[in-house]
Every structure is written in C-alpha cells, then in structure tokens.
Amino acid sequence: MASEPKHEEPVSPENIQAAYFNGFSMTIGLGDVVIALQLNGRPTLVLNTSYTVAKTMAEGLSKIISELEHKTRTTIMTTQVVAAALTQDPDQDAS
C-alpha cells in the first residue's frame, strides 16, 4: 500500500496563538516592513519584520507556491486576478 507523502509541518508550541487571514496590506518603514493581516477586509494582526526576514519569507512563499503549481499543474490565482474576473462583464467577451 502506498503511503501519503510526508509534508514538513512547522514546529510550534501548543500554547501559541494561530491566526487565519484572507487578505493583507503591506508598507515599508524606515527600519522594517509592516504587514497588516486582514480577515474579511478588517485588520486583525500587525507584523513588523526586518527587510532581510521579509525578503527571505517572500522567497520561501514563492518557492512553496511554485512547487504546488508544478506538482498540481495548476496556476494559483492571485486576489488581483480573482477581483478582475469578478468585475469583468461576461458579455464583453462575446464579440
């Protein structure tokens, strides 16, 4: 019987708080990057991080999403693509 592939889970203490978010905003400050996590358009948590950690995180996220897209042969849509599709008039394409 084939076993499920093992996925590396981040190690975290049981008492650490978890947060779900479905949006975010970002800005850059004089000394760090500020990321506001949002749930349904409302800020829920603000993260401050160094430029170095922010860039490292961005590269890591890009890598794992690229791996998922490669393995599933699917392109994950960004929120910008979804928003554009939802606001596009479907009759406009029927020329």
Report pTM: 0.72
Of 4, 6, 8, the closest CA to residue 60 belongs to 8
Give the pLDDT band (50/70/90) at residue 46: very high
- The model's pLDDT over 2-40, given as tens digits with 9 standing for 90+, comes to 555 566 666 677 788 889 999 999 999 999 999 999 999
In the prediction, which pLDDT does 7 show?
64
- The model's pLDDT over 51-88, given as tens digits with 9 standing for 90+, comes to 999 999 999 999 999 999 999 999 999 999 999 999 98
> 47 and 24 in contact (C-beta within 8 Å)?
no
Determine the Cα–Cα distance for residues 50 and 53; give it in Å rounded to an integer. Answer: 5
